Structure 1
């Protein structure tokens, strides 16, 4: 409807010959008068319809044969022009479509190339980050754990190494040495106390009654403790019978012997 209203108001339609020339101008230069090829096609169709409706198709001659009138010839010319316009319009349309497809393909190729470039740039950035930044972050995060692990490994290796050479370096375990040393010290202390007690008790004259009430210094048992049956003085000792003396003999029976002193050392309780 819009195209029909345009063609009826176009001044070139009033003269068929001018309309044909104008349509041919549109065909040769599609941008002529600011119109496209489709406008020229519609104008030719409208002009053909006008000639078909206003002019009879033919007239009869005296011989009875139909002769075409000038208006009919002009209509046939317009029809031929219309067919040419349509074919050339289709040609231009297909050519324009091919150009559009080519332009779009080029644009897609450019977009793909741009995407490849961006992708390569991003991949390069990621590789650089993995190569430079990530090792630093990993070292920063794992440094305390690595140090603790190294410390634990060194301690374990040192402990195993010492355990392997422990028997070579220390034939007797330290705990056993400590126990034996304490035992030897207890025996030496008891021997020293007993030596002093025997020296003091041996100075008492058992024949004099005045000394029978003097206290006897206790002699320690083999375990280093004083005996409960130890007599307080000579009177108590002389009052013991065989039954009371037997436990004392058993309590003071030596069960430990002190190792002999090295050469060059003298006994203290001679």
Structure 2
């Protein structure tokens, strides 16, 4: 919110609408921008895109039709990798599991006139989109237990979790019978194969930043890193809690936490 207020004061066109002062504030009112959806179509260099880095694609006020257009753009640009992160796990799961939404994406994709990544019948894009990584935020065990199961029940090529800001220890095996990954633990692979689900493909961990940052203990981060190592899941330690000079610099991280991995590209 502080950044949105600052951007509004700088005259940034996309931050001129104020939100509810109880939940957002100056410059943070939700606004969709259909005019920028075509921008990735013009990018020649493969790019990693964090979709709505200061918002939530599955916010209740974002129309289904606009979300379908976003997915159509992502389908039309398979050379880019899109990271989508949400706290609205219920809407994400419901919408992306809907046949009507699939049809809306296909219609919007065809309207773009771009056939990159087309399937043999040339009427629908490949689904789930291999270049779209779907993620949920989970700052503690409570939200991990709620959001991760919804994520695992959502069609996706890569599923990831952002444990940022990490506010407590998280046992990923506690979140769902599939645990972290289909082949990371005994008996997990069989269960996942029966239910047609894959596990998590990436984990991002970070302490809170800012002058009033809440505590993030090193053992919480280390515990999650160790779980990912056992399961063979890529993990990215973004930042630590504590002294601001050491929070972001990976060279200052303790041994075992100097890890910044990415998931493999899905073809």
Higher-Rg member (1/2): 1
Question: When the two structures are superposed, what TM-score results if normalisation uses the length of structure 2?
Answer: 0.19
The structure richer in helix per residue is 1
Question: When the two structures are superposed, what TM-score results if normalisation uses the length of structure 1?
Answer: 0.19
The structure richer in strand per residue is 2
